[in-house]
Structure 1
């Protein structure tokens, strides 16, 4: 069996060395991930401690047995978690002897640290012409303009036109289509868009990360009104927002920058939240939805409210 060019190919992993300042999810790496998915392997990207990775690259490296492998401290560690890694002959695995994080991971970065707002949502609709509409609305609300480009890998070189997204999706026989998106507004934004067919509906599953040089400019208080339109005329499955420290250019460094914290969550329908979780109506009369206030994106107590809310939602109202 042959796969894409790699620095090491084993029964468990496809290992690729990337000595560059910023590692994006290029077509070459997209081919590598596809090969890994088809053969049950993990994708493992090896860099130095000075490298950064893009949002799409970070998201794909959360797959099973996949790692951002950082060379430092005389060994290796996972750039997303800080856990030391070792080579077992078939791939990089978590070091079973490790009792602490890698020293480089816990060393504060020297560059300025801003804030990154992450918005994750899923919507469904019956009109094929609506593909990309929710993504466009969210991006416009948070960055001041629609996405500037999209692509099946990085860089996202195709000019954003929703009709082109529809053409691609249906030309593939409505098979699940994963895309990268990049903002063109005043505020940096990068994300991923997965379009798939669910029964008679089309589902749009999106993650967008928006970067801010000054954390005080994140529109935490106005998010319900900014994002409320996403539920109008659609079946909103869920929407979740959280805030964390990070570079304003929305790349990720292999350093500990502090924990993220939730801001709010929305789901289709209208119902009160559990005690201590305020709920507000968003959407419209035809497609009501509820926004639940979880926190300000800084307090870790928000995760407790998130757990209470998800338990209630999973158990039904």
Structure 2
């Protein structure tokens, strides 16, 4: 198991401050750098990582420390975010990480998360501890590695798509392993992690006092078997009907009246040196909230102020490899999007998953959806868009509890897709409400409104009828 300790500081930690923080836990033989100075790793004589310290990250987006850590004592933006990841199997490692973060915060002005991590500052016994030989600690985020899965055990309040976890996702995929993330009860999952978590055998594993472990997204009771977490058969399971047991904690649902408006859309752009990405996302954000996104990044916390130009530059610098981004809104209107940019034969594709959260007394901007779809069609080469309403948390975090599926509110089909259909199939549908034409008359796209009652799942039947009709089934 590992323990994360984070220093949130007003000033950039200088190399001398980082060095002093590490030296506060022991003699100078503990200190070395790796990864061209980006990571400091401290290991025992067997090469096992004790503490890995990542390069400081400048966070310029308001609310990220509160969203991901619940930290109310974070400095005002901009501030520096420095992570230390300690192996808690060795008590000295966790104390060293806490000592390091506390000293760093003291020298650079700031706070430590969790607040009690740096309260007991003492010199750590260093006998048998030395510098990590590269690349012994190349994957400090992995706690258990088997031939089937990589297991990450975290105790953060929010399992976020940190740089550590993003690296672990890539390493597990490259090794053709699943990724299983284990967290304590009460932890929530960031939508950014949920949206990219692969299927079986990858899963979010929640520790539970009654059941032991269960899947935080499905509720299935789990057990460790043959090198990974697998589902526990239910009491009524048979060979022909292998139904799984569902954890009681997962079924404990409290209705709060909170809702989410969720959109997924895809745009395809012809390759052009003048292309600017992120414009469609900003357009939708402005239409639905009245303001642009607040920030973006390639991991959480989202650390950069919103800039389609800088986002585009990074995506093009990585082409033809795909690029993944996370985009967040201001604290007053919770919003989070993940964007995947892919270079294909058709051009440059943007895949966007976006959600906004609303409290019980807040109105959803359903009347703005058609305007958003029209703007995507006219200016951003929309291919398709699906909009759903779901009963879920306003802060957008995913709890290890049943929340229920979303219900379709609307679907939009881009002009090129409409043009590829025979006759007037896109204009004449079996739905009760007729579609609304978008864009120029010569190249129409269509917007298909649906009832969108989150208490009535029959909306999916309407959506399936529409899909079968458009496909000519």
Output the TM-score relative to the length of structure 2.
0.63
- The residue number in structure 2 matching 1:4 is 139
2:293/2:328 contact within 8 Å kept: yes
Q: 1:236-275 counterparts in 2 under 5 A? A: 236-269=382-415, 270=418, 271-275=426-430
Normalization by structure 1: what TM-score? 0.91
In the alignment, does 2:171 pair up with 1:35?
yes
Given the superposition, is the C-alpha separation of residues 253 and 287 from structure 1 closer, same or farther in structure 2, using an over 3 Å criterion?
farther
Q: In structure 2, how many angstroms separate the alpha carbons of the residues matched to 1:133 and 1:285?
A: 24
Q: How far did residue 261 of structure 1 move?
A: 1.0
Counterpart of 2:251 (choices 101, 106, 128) is: 106
Q: In structure 2, which of residues 285, 297, 317 is the aligned counterpart of residue 151 of structure 1? A: 297
Contact 1:55 1:251 in 2 (8 A): yes
Task: Supply the distance in 2 between the matched residues of 1:287 and 1:136 (Cα, whole angstroms).
Answer: 24
Richer in strand (by share): 1
**Residue 132 of structure 1 pairs with residue 278 of structure 2:** yes
Distance across 2 between alignment mates of 1:314 and 1:39: 38
Q: Deviations over 1:215-240 (max 9, x none)?
A: 65112344222332111134321100
What root-mean-square deviation, in Å, do the aligned CA atoms of Structure 1 and Structure 2 show? 2.2
1:250-269 deviation digits (Å, cap 9, x = unpaired)? 11111113332111111113
Match of 1:194 in 2: 340
Q: Is the 8 A contact 1:143 1:183 kept in 2?
A: no
Q: Specify whether residues 62 and 263 from structure 1 end up closer, same or farther in structure 2 by C-alpha distance, changes over 3 A only.
A: farther
Q: Does 1:60 align with 2:60?
A: no
Q: Does 1:305 align with 2:462?
A: yes
Q: State the shift of 1:214 in Å.
A: 2.5
Q: CA deviation at 1:175?
A: 1.9
Cα pair distance change 1:171/1:234, threshold 3 Å: same
Contact 1:146 1:185 in 2 (8 A): no
Structure with greater contact order relative to length (CA < 8 Å, sep ≥ 6)? 1
User: Structure 2: where are the runs of 5+ without partners?
Assistant: 1-134, 235-242, 419-425
Classify 1:69/1:11 alpha carbon distance in 2 versus 1 (closer, same or farther; 3 Å).
Answer: same
Shift of 1:308: 1.1
Q: Which residue of 343, 359, 377 corresponds with 1:231?
A: 377
Compared with structure 1, are the counterparts of its residues 36 and 215 closer, same or farther at alpha carbon in structure 2 (3 Å cutoff)?
farther
Which residue of 2 is the match for residue 170 of structure 1?
A: 316
Aligned residues: 315
* 2:387–2:409 CA contact under 8 A, matched in 1: yes
Say whether the 8 Å CA contact 2:430–2:469 is kept in structure 1: no
Structure 1 residue runs of 5 or longer lacking an equivalent are: none
What SS does structure 2 have at the residue aligned with 1:217? coil
